[in-house]
Structure 1
Amino acid sequence: MDTFDTRTIGRRAGAVLAATLLAGAALAVAAPPASAGQQVPPVAWQSCPAYSEETLRMMAPQERQAQLRELLGRLQCGTVSVPLDYRIPHGQQITVALTRLKARDQAHRLGSMALNPGGPGGSGYLMPVDVLMRGDSTAGLNEHYDLIGFDPRGVGYSTKVNCAPGERVEAPAPGPLTEAAARRIYDAQVAELRACGRSDPAFLGRLTTANVARDLDRIRAGLGESRLHFLGISWGTWLGVVYRTLFPQQVGRMFLDSVAIPRFDIPAFEKGRLEAGERNAAVRLTAWLAANNDTYGLGATADEVRATIIALRASYDANPRRFTDLEEPIDGRFIATAAAQSAPVWPLVGQILKELREATGPTAPPTVKEVLGDDGPGQAPPADAPERQNRTMNKAAFCNEDPSRADFDTAWATYQRNLAQNPLTGRTLRFSAGCAGWPLPVQAFRIKPGGGSLVLSGHRWETPSPYEWTLQTRTIVGGRVYTVDDDVHGSALRECTGDIIGFFDTGRIDGGCTGVPVPSGPVAVARTFDAV
Structure 2
Amino acid sequence: MNKKMSAAAAAVLAVPLLSAVPASAEPLVFGPCPFEGAECAELSVPLEAREPDGEEILISVSRVRATGTREEYRGALLVNPGGPGGSGLEYSVSKGKKLPQQVRRSYDIIGFDPRGVGRSAPLDCGELGGLFNHPAPQPVPADSAQERAHLDRLADMAQDCLRHNPDAAAMNTMNTARDVDRIREALGEPKLNFLGVSYGSYLGAAYAAEFPERIGRMVLDSVVSPDRWHDFDVQQAHAMLRQRDVLFDWIAAHPELDLGATRDQVRDTYTRARTSLAETPARGTFGAAEFDNLVYKTLSRTERWRPFAEALAAYVNSGNADGLEPALPGTDAESRNYEAALRTVKCNDSTRPSRAEVIGDIRELRETDPQPILTGLEGTTCAFWDRPRETARFGSSGMPPILLTQAEHDPTTPYEGATRMQAELPGSRMITAQDSYSHGLFASQRIACVDDATAAYLVDGRLPNQDLRCPGPGLPE
TM-score, normalising length from structure 2? 0.78
The answer to whether the 8 Å contact 2:66/2:106 transfers is yes
In structure 1, the residue matched to 2:229 is: 265
The answer to whether the 8 Å contact 2:74/2:106 transfers is yes
Q: Distance in 1 between matches of 2:205 and 2:323?
A: 38
1:197 Cα offset (Å): 1.9
5+ residue gaps, structure 2, are 1-22
* 1:255-404 map, 5 Å: 255-266=219-230, 268-282=231-245, 284-292=246-254, 296=258, 298-299=260-261, 305-312=262-269, 327=284, 334=291, 341=299, 342-348=301-307, 351=310, 359=317, 363-364=318-319, 369-372=321-324, 390-404=338-352
In structure 2, the residue matched to 1:434 is: 381
Q: Distance in 2 between matches of 1:270 and 1:388?
A: 20
Cα deviation per residue 1:408-458 (whole Å; 9 max; x = unaligned)?
A: x542332122121135x6145488742132235353233233523411111
> Secondary structure of the equivalent of 1:113?
strand
Give the alignment partner of residue 96 of structure 1, picking from 43, 46, 59.
59
1:519 Cα offset (Å): 2.1
TM-score, normalising length from structure 1? 0.71
Q: 1:101–1:182: structure 2 CA closer, same or farther, 3 Å change rule? A: same
1:113 Cα offset (Å): 0.9
The answer to whether the 8 Å contact 1:274/1:422 transfers is no
In structure 2, the residue matched to 1:193 is: 158
In structure 2, the residue matched to 1:29 is: none
The answer to whether the 8 Å contact 2:252/2:266 transfers is no
Residue 457 (structure 1) aligned with residue 401 (structure 2): no
In structure 2, the residue matched to 1:24 is: none
Identity among equivalent positions (%) equals 26
When structure 1 is superposed on structure 2, of 432-441 and 486-495 the one drifting more is: 432-441
1:371 alignment partner AA: G
When structure 1 is superposed on structure 2, of 431-440 and 479-488 the one drifting more is: 431-440
> Secondary structure of the equivalent of 1:492?
coil
Cα deviation per residue 1:73-95 (whole Å; 9 max; x = unaligned)?
A: xx2x2233322222222333332
In structure 2, the residue matched to 1:508 is: 462
The answer to whether the 8 Å contact 1:123/1:387 transfers is no
Give the alignment partner of residue 481 of structure 1, picking from 423, 430, 448.
430
Q: Distance in 2 between matches of 1:378 and 1:171?
A: 12
Residue 183 (structure 1) aligned with residue 183 (structure 2): no
The answer to whether the 8 Å contact 2:198/2:440 transfers is yes
2:343 alignment partner AA: K
1:379 Cα offset (Å): 8.4
In structure 2, the residue matched to 1:529 is: none
> Secondary structure of the equivalent of 2:405?
strand
In structure 2, the residue matched to 1:523 is: none
Q: 1:452–1:326: structure 2 CA closer, same or farther, 3 Å change rule? A: same
Q: Which of structures 1 and 2 has the larger relative contact order (alpha carbons within 8 angstroms, sep 6+)?
A: 1
Q: 1:130–1:413: structure 2 CA closer, same or farther, 3 Å change rule? A: same
Q: 1:502–1:417: structure 2 CA closer, same or farther, 3 Å change rule? A: same
Q: Distance in 1 between matches of 2:42 and 2:96?
A: 22
Cα deviation per residue 1:94-151 (whole Å; 9 max; x = unaligned)?
A: 32221222323223311211111111122212222112344xx644322111211112
1:426 alignment partner AA: P
In structure 2, the residue matched to 1:112 is: 76
1:441 alignment partner AA: P
Q: Distance in 1 between matches of 2:267 and 2:289?
A: 9
Q: 1:323–1:229: structure 2 CA closer, same or farther, 3 Å change rule? A: same
Give the alignment partner of residue 82 of structure 1, picking from 45, 52, 57.
45
Residue 447 (structure 1) aligned with residue 394 (structure 2): yes
* 1:154-173 map, 5 Å: 154-166=116-128, 168=130, 171-172=136-137
1:310 Cα offset (Å): 4.2
When structure 1 is superposed on structure 2, of 330-339 and 140-149 the one drifting more is: 330-339
2:47 alignment partner AA: L
In structure 2, the residue matched to 1:213 is: 177
1:480 alignment partner AA: R
In structure 1, the residue matched to 2:475 is: 518
The answer to whether the 8 Å contact 2:220/2:405 transfers is yes
5+ residue gaps, structure 1, are 1-38, 57-68, 300-304, 521-532
The answer to whether the 8 Å contact 1:261/1:473 transfers is yes
1:515 Cα offset (Å): 4.7
Q: Distance in 1 between matches of 2:404 and 2:219?
A: 6
1:328 Cα offset (Å): 6.2
Cα deviation per residue 1:388-424 (whole Å; 9 max; x = unaligned)?
A: 95443322211112323432x542332122121135x
Give the alignment partner of residue 227 of structure 1, picking from 186, 191, 194.
191
1:279 Cα offset (Å): 2.5
The answer to whether the 8 Å contact 2:219/2:404 transfers is yes
> Secondary structure of the equivalent of 2:76?
strand
1:307 alignment partner AA: D
Q: Distance in 2 between matches of 1:110 and 1:116?
A: 19
The answer to whether the 8 Å contact 1:313/1:335 transfers is no
Counting matched residue pairs gives 438
Structure 1 vs Structure 2 CA RMSD: 3.7
Give the alignment partner of residue 148 of structure 1, picking from 102, 110, 113.
110
When structure 1 is superposed on structure 2, of 172-181 and 490-499 the one drifting more is: 172-181
Q: Distance in 1 between matches of 2:124 and 2:328?
A: 27
Q: 1:101–1:356: structure 2 CA closer, same or farther, 3 Å change rule? A: closer
Q: 1:329–1:442: structure 2 CA closer, same or farther, 3 Å change rule? A: same
In structure 2, the residue matched to 1:524 is: none
Q: 1:227–1:388: structure 2 CA closer, same or farther, 3 Å change rule? A: farther
